[in-house]
Amino acid sequence: MSMIPDDKVREVRERAPILQVISDYMSLKKSGANYQGMCPFHGEKTASFNVNPARGIFHCFGCGVGGNAFDFVMRIEGLSFPQAVKFLAKRVGVEIPERPLTREEKRKVDEQEQAYRINELACEFYRGVLESDEAGAAGRAYLEKRGVSPEIAAVYRMGFAPAGWDSLTRYLQRKGIAAAEAEKLGLLRKREGKDGYYDTFRNRLLFTIADLHGRPIGFGGRVMDDSLPKYINSPESLVYRKSEVLFGVDLAKKGMREKGSAIVVEGYFDHLALYKAGFTNVVATCGTALTQPHVKLLRRYAERTFMLFDGDEAGRKATVRSMELFLEEAFPARVVEVPSGDDPDTFINREGGEAFQPLLDKALPIFESFYKGLLKRLDVRSVEGKVAFVNEVSPRLQKIVDPVERGLYEKEICRALGIDRAMLLQKVGIPARQAPRPPQKGAPQKIGTEEVLLTLMVKYPEVVSKVREHGADKLFSASHLKLAESILAQPEDGELDLPLLLEQIESHEERSRLYSLFVEDAHLEDLDPVKAFEQCRQALERRALKGDGKALARELATVDPDSPRYLEILAELERLRNKKSKLL
């Protein structure tokens, strides 16, 4: 049980509308009264995830997950209910009275909060140096030379690490931060063989690496000349896991949602060049290979990805590695090619941002780009070249989930190589895989009359009045009576708090089923609510009469025909038949 007062939970729910909460994690498009998107909880090709903003609920018809804003945050952030309430409370400015934490909980929370605080302090220090300190003059000059305005530098929270050995060390000391704690985050290093610490970043321009919510979690430091290493990045820490974080995702969330796509580049300045040119849906990998969590993160916000890695051998290998992830996730990706010898930064600075859009328009699907690149590199006129090509392509071909797409590529490859398709399949041993069963998006559910009546009550106040007048216990069986009575108990002039009512249902399966019923009600739009209520009432009464009739018939079979009860049952059955005929 949560120790958070109910009124606080209600306040958070009211101030954190579900559409706003979910839109922060994934791309949603309006569809009637609802918003739809690709479910972040399972891989799918067609959007089956629905959000109903008016009712404050969501449901995925593909995997059956449903709930309110708290349920969504709990699932996507891996939090408990109290943690999810506090998480949203912080974002919407609601103060939650704290219960005393256990020693272990306090240690974990304190450690994490302290890590965020130290990174925030370091970010402020580096920003201050770049903006106005004499020690940051070299950084300001470098940015000016590269056409980066102070405004853009502020958006990126760029900073400058002075050349001295202990500028940040002394600053953090003044702020009461223990050097050993800053060392854990890679900001300071221990002096070898002697006491004390020194700054990790020195005489470097710094990019702030932020999490989804814009909190600084690490830094990337670049030299301003040709010395090596060109970049130093923060190491992994309690708050920074490289396999899960993409640089600039906090800046790109909105752009990815609006454009339906993400552009993935390798470096900070490539990111900056595209962002400045108006391509706000850009993220960067920054010194780490693309991972499955990265692909899942992109999928939350975008429907497809454009890969923009360097054209050299390392860039090509990185693209092939990422292709396998995209194929496994069945997530559409294309490869953007900049002219040889260019990277996005040099290309945009020379040609201008408007010259970049045609490169996106010409981008090839990632698998097509891969095999066409192979055709150029290998001499496929020779048997040796053909075999080498097939050996390279076959394991990737197997990863294409859609059998139609895979079949079309097989045909293209055979045509290009001049070999028979049966030979290709036999040679590489591609299994004849079954097409995956698509999620049952909006699959017609068998909806009972009681459930139809509940959906009418949720949508139409006049049906609530009719049920109150008639008596909920005469219409609903035990499985739905509690919810019907909860709806009746809501203030007549107030708005129905559906998420709160559904929270009270203990059965997870039942709750999930009801979310799927209530998330979509377009089919009820043109109904006459009173007429619909009457139809439900008659159907439910007929069902009750039928049940009573069966019970009486069973009893009749056991009763002595000469007894008075036998005649009573016959009279009762006749009465039920008459009543039933009037309902037809």
- Tens of pLDDT, residue by residue over 504-548, are 777 777 777 888 888 887 667 777 888 888 888 888 877 776 766
First to last CA, the chain: 49
- The reply to whether 472 and 536 lie within a common domain is yes
pLDDT attached to residue 433 = 43
pLDDT attached to residue 461 = 87
We report the CATH number of the domain holding residue 156 as: 3.90.980.10
- The reply to whether 145 and 221 lie within a common domain is yes
- The reply to whether 251 and 305 lie within a common domain is yes
- The reply to whether 458 and 570 lie within a common domain is yes
Work out how many domains the chain is built from and give that number: 5
pLDDT attached to residue 439 = 41
Residue 40, domain member (yes or no): yes
Q: Is the pTM of this model over 0.75?
A: no
Give the count of beta carbons closer than 10 Å to the beta carbon of residue 91: 16
- The reply to whether 420 and 529 lie within a common domain is no
Containing structural domain, residue 27? 6-92
Residue 351, domain member (yes or no): yes
Token reading at 511: 């709750």
d(CA 342, CA 391): 31
Last residue of a domain, one of 363, 390, 415: 363
- Residues 283, 298: contact at Cβ < 8 Å? yes
Residue 291, domain member (yes or no): yes
Token reading at 560: 């002595």
Q: Peptide bond before 229: cis, by omega within 30 degrees of 0?
A: yes
Give exposure, 241-273, as e/b (b: 16+ Cβ within 10 Å): ebeebbbbbbbbbebbbebebbbbbbbbbbbbb
We report the CATH number of the domain holding residue 22 as: 3.90.580.10
We report the CATH number of the domain holding residue 346 as: 3.40.1360.10
- The reply to whether 207 and 253 lie within a common domain is no
Token reading at 205: 């321009």
Residue type, 39: C
d(CA 115, CA 178): 12
Residue 329, domain member (yes or no): yes
How confident is residue 438, by pLDDT bands cut at 50, 70 and 90?
A: very low
534 or 568, which is more confident: 534
462 or 263, which is more confident: 263
Nearest to 131 by CA among 143, 146, 119: 143
pLDDT digits (tens, 9 = 90+) for 474-501: 888 777 888 888 888 887 766 677 887 8
Cα-to-chain-centroid distance, residue 96: 26
d(CA 300, CA 296): 7
Which region among 6-15, 231-240, 573-582 has the lowest average model confidence (pLDDT)? 573-582
Percent of the chain with pLDDT over 90: 43
Last residue of a domain, one of 92, 112, 145: 92
Q: Is 316 left (phi over 0), alpha (psi -120 to 50) or beta?
A: alpha
Residue 370, domain member (yes or no): no
We report the CATH number of the domain holding residue 460 as: 1.10.860
Which stretches of 78-146 are DSSP H helices? 81-92, 103-132, 137-145
- The reply to whether 461 and 536 lie within a common domain is yes
What secondary structure letter does DSSP report for 247?
B
pLDDT attached to residue 442 = 42
- The reply to whether 223 and 316 lie within a common domain is no
Residue 383, domain member (yes or no): yes
Residue 373, domain member (yes or no): no
- The reply to whether 108 and 187 lie within a common domain is yes
- Residues 360, 306: contact at Cβ < 8 Å? yes
Last residue of a domain, one of 92, 116, 135: 92
Q: Does the pLDDT at position 431 exceed 60?
A: no
pLDDT attached to residue 435 = 40
- The reply to whether 191 and 308 lie within a common domain is no
Residue 432, domain member (yes or no): no
- The reply to whether 354 and 403 lie within a common domain is no
- The reply to whether 111 and 228 lie within a common domain is yes
pLDDT digits (tens, 9 = 90+) for 67-123: 999 999 988 887 788 889 999 999 898 888 766 667 876 787 788 889 999 999 999
Alpha-carbon dihedral of residues 572, 573, 574, 580, nearest 10 degrees?
Answer: 110
